[in-house]
């Protein structure tokens, strides 16, 4: 799991990296939400389909 997350962080667009440092809370929140979505998608892509449906039901 750590390797998947690290891969996403390494591929994060420059605007996300920049906005994570923003003083403006709204800008920073948008970047955090984008990064979280990217990580979630990567984790779902690496999870077998049966486990995905179980994880979705738990959310």
Contact 56, 45 (CB under 8 A): no
pLDDT, one tens digit per residue, over 8-38 is 999 999 999 999 999 999 999 999 999 999 9
The contacts of residue 30 (CB under 8 Å, 6+ apart) are: 19
Model's pTM, two decimal places?
Answer: 0.74
What CA–CA distance (Å, rounded) separates 19 from 59?
28
Give the pLDDT of residue 50: 52
Give the pLDDT of residue 37: 97
């Amino acid at each position: 799991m750590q390797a998947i997350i690290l891969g996403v962080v390494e591929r994060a667009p420059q605007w996300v990296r920049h906005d994570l440092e923003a003083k403006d809370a709204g800008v920073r929140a948008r970047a955090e939400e984008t990064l979280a979505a990217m990580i979630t998608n990567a984790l779902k892509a690496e999870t077998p389909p049966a486990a995905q449906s179980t994880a979705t039901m738990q959310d």
